[in-house]
Chain A
Amino acid sequence: MDARSQSPRYHFLAFPIVGALLAALPFALHNNYYIGVMVFIGIHTILALGLNLLMGYAGQVSLGHAAFYGIGAYTTAILTTMLKWPPWVGLACAPMVAGLAAYLIGMPTLKLKGHYLAMATLGFGMIVKILFVEYYPLTGGTSGMTGIPPLSLGKLQLVDDRQFYYVVWFFALMLIWVSYNIVESRVGRALRAVHTSEIAAASVGVDIAKYKIQVFVLSGVYSGLAGALYAHYIRFVNPDPFGFMFSIQLVVMVVVGGMASIWGAIAGASAITLLSQVLQRFEDYEVIVFGAILVLVMIYMPQGLTKSIVDLTARRRSAKPSKPEVLP
């Protein structure tokens, strides 16, 4: 038997299945509004994946992840509108800049034991949002930046929602594959080891701080890419989407999807994205609802939505044959 991992091969089987479903979905959705929602679910999946690696595997929380998302969006916006760089180059630079920002925040804080990263990112998120607003010549202030060019494939400009849908989900699935590879490797094992016993992990030579920083930078890179995709999809950026509220939504996505669950990122991103569509008209109460969800999920489904549902169906199935015995 292959003793290598607890996670069976269906993870790899899931790729073609989920890929085929996602490829077919636009044909079933006739309303462009739903395609737009699916694009956002894709972008949020990328963000949740990165944050999930950080929370579920490095055991650290970021309360300012929206800032890296914003840095990605503004990076490509500035490069493609002011410097007229090609959109794909902007899209490639955005994750690097966001990753560098994560490195600069993570380097001093992740060397310390404890949850300094949460506080550092909280402050960082606020500062970045203020910079977006105040650094008018570069960012356009509160009115934002318009005229961001679309991505294109050869002569084809990807301005249509359906085209962009495929671009976003191509990246999302690729990053699911990448994240899964990392989790099921020497690096992933080291991270899981740190989670159970830091002292034992160090005793076998795991450089704890190094891995925490790497994962944080990686999650910054994911967020930067998500931000750039957002910018080339909406083709307009302003500071609003990149604030504290969205950072919290991201944390809720990860918790709802299930920490340390790669596929859970899609579930969490879908649930929260759809919910926030519904809640949009209650604006001010949104915060309360997300706070309540966070608390309820933590109490009743600490494993997250995906694992809880899987467990529930498994219990149903195993409960059936034993039923007659329970009857008097």
Chain B
Amino acid sequence: MTTGAVFLEAHDVTKRFGGLTAVDSVSFTMKLGTIKALIGPNGAGKSTMLNMLSGVYLPTSGRISVRTVDVTGQQAHKFVGLGIARTFQTVQLFGNMTVIENVVMGLHTKCKTGIIQSALRLPSVLREERMVFASAMEHLERVGLADRASELAVNLPYGQQRMLEIARAMASSPEMLMLDEPAAGLSMKETEHLALFVQEIRDSGIGVLVVDHDMRLIMDISDEVVVLDHGKKIAEGTPREVQTNPSVITAYLGEEAGDE
């Protein structure tokens, strides 16, 4: 991994839902070892953008490339293999599984056991199980959830569920991590914790694309910011540049800056 190398590119990406253009010809690049923030008012198209960058939605037009290879139209489950992991705006855990099993799911593509091997419970299967559970435990330790490993994921408090979702994404050892509103619903303390963790991830050379409403968090941790409004990219630059951009102030910061 080379920090600063371009990992992912969006070229003129557009998504229409019927008559509504949720994302309108947006282009940007994602570098390794960089935190990029995607901000904008509610309904600006941020989640839709993330969904296209992870194969959940097919762009109506435009192209997405990873390491200069065109990946537009690839199925969602193939994106992990490309080095892209993500979390969701509404937490999507496997609630009926234990905390550690959730992280083990993040290691899914790293394992080989198929239906035949598992049916016969071959020694290789047991070896792989031991390996993934040990590895999952390390990921849980990183987010401070090791002591809750055997609880059901649904029983975790909300903030810990969000961290677990990140741990699951990190288990796939991605090159790029996409977080959709990771701080939503977190306490101040939890948000600080999150900020440190995201920076730690960035410092390990991973590119992070983070969508959030918490402006302070975004301005604190991001290296670059892209601003969307009504599906269009209206600004891009460092947090400072974006904060002083007049069109951003009217479109987005204006509404919220008043009460801060």
Listed in ascending order, the chain A residues whose CB lies under 8 Å from chain B are: 1, 3-6, 178, 181-182, 185-190, 192-193, 195-197, 199-208, 214-215, 218
Number of inter-chain CB pairs below 8 Å: 117
B76 within 8 A of A: yes
Tell me which residues across on chain B come within 8 A of A207, comparing CB atoms.
75, 77
Q: Which of B197-217 contact A (CB under 8 A)?
A: none
* Contact status B98-A203, CB under 8 Å: no
* Contact status B111-A186, CB under 8 Å: yes
Q: Which of B71-124 contact A (CB under 8 A)?
A: 75-81, 85-86, 88, 92-101, 104-106, 108-109, 111, 113-115, 118-121
With the chains together, A205 CA to B112 CA distance in Å? 12
* Contact status A203-B109, CB under 8 Å: no
With the chains together, A206 CA to B108 CA distance in Å? 7
B149 within 8 A of A: yes
> Given A4, A189, A204, which contacts B172 in the complex, CB threshold below 8 Å?
A204
* Contact status A203-B115, CB under 8 Å: no
* Contact status B105-A204, CB under 8 Å: yes
Tell me which residues across on chain B come within 8 A of A178, comparing CB atoms.
119-120
* Contact status A203-B54, CB under 8 Å: yes
> Given A1, A196, A215, which contacts B96 in the complex, CB threshold below 8 Å?
A196
Listed in ascending order, the chain B residues whose CB lies under 8 Å from chain A are: 54-56, 75-81, 85-86, 88, 92-101, 104-106, 108-109, 111, 113-115, 118-121, 125, 128-129, 132-133, 149-150, 152, 168-169, 172
A214: nearest residue on chain B (CB-CB)? B115
Q: Contacts A192-B97, A196-B96, A199-B56; is A186 near B128 (CB within 8 Å)?
A: yes
Q: Contacts A186-B113, A186-B118; is A193 near B92 (CB within 8 Å)?
A: no
Interface majority SS on A: helix, strand, loop or mixed? helix
* Contact status A203-B118, CB under 8 Å: no
With the chains together, A192 CA to B153 CA distance in Å? 13
* Contact status A185-B113, CB under 8 Å: yes
A236 to chain B, nearest CB (A): 32
Q: Contacts A199-B76, A202-B76, A204-B80; is A190 near B108 (CB within 8 Å)?
A: yes
With the chains together, A197 CA to B102 CA distance in Å? 12
A75 to chain B, nearest CB (A): 22
* Contact status B150-A199, CB under 8 Å: no
* Contact status A205-B109, CB under 8 Å: yes
Q: Which residue among A192, A203, A204 has the maximum number of chain B CB atoms within 10 Å of its CB? A: A203
* Contact status B119-A193, CB under 8 Å: no
> Given B119, B133, B149, which contacts A182 in the complex, CB threshold below 8 Å?
B119
* Contact status A189-B105, CB under 8 Å: yes
Tell me which residues across on chain A come within 8 A of B125, comparing CB atoms.
185-186
B122: nearest residue on chain A (CB-CB)? A181
> Given B81, B98, B114, B119, which contacts A6 in the complex, CB threshold below 8 Å?
B98
> Given B80, B97, B100, B113, which contacts A205 in the complex, CB threshold below 8 Å?
B80
- 6 A-B pairs with least C-beta separation: A185-B118, A3-B150, A205-B80, A200-B92, A205-B109, A202-B76
B78: nearest residue on chain A (CB-CB)? A205
A43 to chain B, nearest CB (A): 20
> Can you list 10 contacts pairing A with B, beta carbon distance less than 8 Å?
A3-B149, A186-B111, A189-B104, A189-B108, A197-B94, A200-B93, A202-B76, A203-B54, A204-B105, A206-B77
* Contact status B109-A4, CB under 8 Å: no
With the chains together, A326 CA to B162 CA distance in Å? 41
B137: nearest residue on chain A (CB-CB)? A3
Task: List 13 other contacts, CB 8 Å, given A189-B97, A200-B94, A203-B169.
Answer: A3-B149, A3-B150, A4-B129, A6-B152, A181-B118, A185-B118, A185-B125, A186-B118, A189-B105, A192-B96, A197-B92, A203-B88, A205-B78
* Contact status B114-A187, CB under 8 Å: yes
With the chains together, A4 CA to B129 CA distance in Å? 9
* Contact status B119-A203, CB under 8 Å: no
Q: Contacts A185-B118, A186-B118; is A203 near B92 (CB within 8 Å)?
A: yes
Q: Contacts A182-B118, A196-B94, A196-B96; is A204 near B106 (CB within 8 Å)?
A: yes
* Contact status A204-B108, CB under 8 Å: yes
B130 to chain A, nearest CB (A): 9
* Contact status A193-B149, CB under 8 Å: no
Tell me which residues across on chain A come within 8 A of B118, comparing CB atoms.
181-182, 185-188
Tell me which residues across on chain B come within 8 A of A195, comparing CB atoms.
96
With the chains together, A181 CA to B54 CA distance in Å? 32
B36 to chain A, nearest CB (A): 19
Q: Contacts A181-B118, A185-B118, A200-B88; is A3 near B113 (CB within 8 Å)?
A: no
Tell me which residues across on chain B come within 8 A of A1, comparing CB atoms.
150
> Given A181, A196, A199, A201, which contacts B119 in the complex, CB threshold below 8 Å?
A181
* Contact status A203-B80, CB under 8 Å: yes
With the chains together, A193 CA to B93 CA distance in Å? 9
B154 to chain A, nearest CB (A): 10
With the chains together, A122 CA to B132 CA distance in Å? 40
* Contact status A203-B120, CB under 8 Å: no
With the chains together, A202 CA to B88 CA distance in Å? 12
B138 to chain A, nearest CB (A): 14
With the chains together, A218 CA to B114 CA distance in Å? 13
Tell me which residues across on chain B come within 8 A of A192, comparing CB atoms.
94, 96-97
With the chains together, A189 CA to B98 CA distance in Å? 11
Tell me which residues across on chain B come within 8 A of A196, comparing CB atoms.
93-97
* Contact status A193-B94, CB under 8 Å: yes
